[in-house]
Amino acid sequence: MKPVLAIAWMAVRSAVRSRVVGVLLGLLFLAIIGLPLTVKSDGTLAGEVQVRLTYTLGAVLIILSIATWWAGCAAVSSEVQAKQIQLVLTKPVGRGAVWLGKWLGLVALNAALLAVSGAAIYGMIRWKLSPARLTEAQQRELREQILVARYSVAPQPLDVTAEARRIFAEQQKAGAVPTNQPVEQVVRAIEESLVRSAHTVPPGYKRTWVFELPAAPVGEQPVVLRYKFSSSEVTKGTLVRGLWLVGPVGKADRFELEQVNATDGAHAVAIPVSAFGGSRQVAVEYANINPLPIAVLFEPQGGIELQPYAGSFEGNLARALMLAWVQLAFVGAVALAAGTLLSLPVAALVTGYVLLLVKAGDYVALLATERGTFFSGAAQGQPGESALDWVLRQVLWVESALVQPLQGPNVLEYLTAGRALEWSAVAGAFLIKVVIYSGLCAAVTTFLFNRREIALPME
């Protein structure tokens, strides 16, 4: 382990000596202090804080990602090109240790820079929150809306399988099911229709959703009910009057709140903790009391959610920085692996491709499941897919299977929306990106590096 740490220390020292750290720190501070002076928000206090957080932390992550990408690619390849690597490899140090040392150096440097950046961003937020700048009410508003960590709890899913099968059987019996459609597709369509109906509130009607919270709400922080809906009124922004009733399941005494909301907008209301009566199981009911007959349609996915308090903003920011650090460690591992085996320009391109693939993971997964996307033009589920299409789909399927585990919460979106980044997410990301994927990079690279001739006469 000693040689590894020695190489890591040398990597950090050389970065400091070569003024890389100085330049990076300068850029980071420019982003953290300069950007908030130039960016425009929507004119609200919450919007201003969200924009500052998004742009400063976003800029920090971009700068560090690019620096890690470049430094990782150059760490070994430039030494090979300058023939300096021989000085290290002729010593009793394994090539795996060299790789690991360089990676740990990068990781340590990123940790230090992220910590400094995080502290600066937090200092900026604290400065913004100071009593000289904001009233107590404004501070409380920010602490409740943005500078907080909240769980996002969806309503318990509806089980419509049996009902869909029953309707399907009835329709099949009546000869109403098209014979050229796969059975599963028809049943799925019926299920979707049932779920949509369950999220529709006709004029004068009520709908109830049941939520299972992670814990019974306590303390002073209210629970936020977020919802969005469309309506049978086609005009965008039509105002609809509704009544929310919230309380423990099975209790008649419930918290009531009348709201007039714009169709197609995103809405949030604060529900006091007392409304939950110390219960984890909560019933949320919406009564459509609009005087004009307008039906309200909540989106089945994400149309309604409860957001109980999960923790402080400080803890969330710390977890966001850890997730960012884990991501940078992964970028460093890929870049270093490419730089160890290839020349600097090729390594940079390969790393860029891999990172792009990871970023577009959802799109790759979609392409892998759709038939006839490339050449044959046959629709999904239809015969006529060409062999070339099939091969390409298998390649995409493998790529998708490799990059899917690397998908995780969007740190910036979670942080600026006040959504909790949980410890389990941090641990999961660490396990996948650092232990498994970076470990794989280390193993494969060491294996190939050990077989690579370094001091060839032509080089």
Partner 1 sequence: MMKTVVLVLVVLGSLWLAGRQHGPLLQMRREYRLNWEEPLENSPPLVGFTTVALGGFRGIIADVLWLRASKLQEEKKYFELVQLADWITKLEPRFALVWAFHGWNMAYNISVLLDNPADRWRWVKHGFELMRDQGLFYNPGDPQLHRELGWIFQHKMGNILDQAHLYYKRAWAEEMAQLFDGPRPDYVFARAHPDDPRVKRMREQYRLDPALMQAVDAQYGPLDWRLPPAHAIYWAYRGRPYARGFDLVQIDRMIFQSMQDNFWSGRLVVEPAENIFTPSPNPDAFETVNRAYQAARAAHPEETSIQSAHRNFLKDAILVLYLHHYTRQARDAFERMREQYPDATSARSFEVFVRGEFRAQVRDMSQREALAMVEGLLGQAAQWLVIGEEDRWRGAYLAARYCWQEYMKTRTDPALVERTGLPPFAVLWQQARDRAAARARTAAAKARLAEAGEAAAPAEE
Residues that bind partner 1 (CB under 8 A): 39-44, 46-47, 50-51, 54-55, 228, 236-237, 239, 241, 259-262, 264-267, 290-292, 416-417
Strand order in the sheet with 206-212: 206-212, 281-288, 239-248, 255-262
* Cα–Cα distance list, 141 to 46, 122, 134, 146, 314 (Å): 8, 18, 10, 8, 16
State how far the Cα of 340 lies from the Cα of 336, in Å rounded to an integer. Answer: 6
- Strand, helix or coil for residue 211: strand
Residue 238 Cβ, how far from partner 1 at the closest point, in Å?
8
Q: Which is nearer to partner 1, 204 or 237 (CB)?
A: 237
Residue 194 Cβ, how far from partner 1 at the closest point, in Å?
26
Residues 6+ apart with CB under 8 A from 418: 145, 146, 147, 148, 149, 150, 307, 313, 316
Q: Are 268 and 419 in contact (CB under 8 A)?
A: no
Q: Which is nearer to partner 1, 47 or 202 (CB)?
A: 47
Q: Which is nearer to partner 1, 237 or 384 (CB)?
A: 237
Q: Which is nearer to partner 1, 89 or 417 (CB)?
A: 417
Per DSSP, the residues of 79-109 read HHHTT-HHHHHTSS--HHHHHHHHHHHHHHH
Phi, psi of 187 (to 5 degrees): -60, -40
Residue 192 Cβ, how far from partner 1 at the closest point, in Å?
21
In angstroms, how far is the first alpha carbon of the chain from the final one?
31
Q: Which is nearer to partner 1, 44 or 404 (CB)?
A: 44
Q: Which is nearer to partner 1, 50 or 68 (CB)?
A: 50
Residue 289 Cβ, how far from partner 1 at the closest point, in Å?
11
Q: Which is nearer to partner 1, 99 or 286 (CB)?
A: 286
Q: Which is nearer to partner 1, 41 or 312 (CB)?
A: 41
Name the DSSP class of 72. Answer: H
* Cα–Cα distance list, 167 to 188, 201, 339, 450 (Å): 12, 22, 60, 64
Residue 39 Cβ, how far from partner 1 at the closest point, in Å?
5
Residue 259 Cβ, how far from partner 1 at the closest point, in Å?
8
Residue 413 Cβ, how far from partner 1 at the closest point, in Å?
8
Residue 178 Cβ, how far from partner 1 at the closest point, in Å?
33
For CA atoms 104, 105, 108, 109, give the dihedral sign: negative
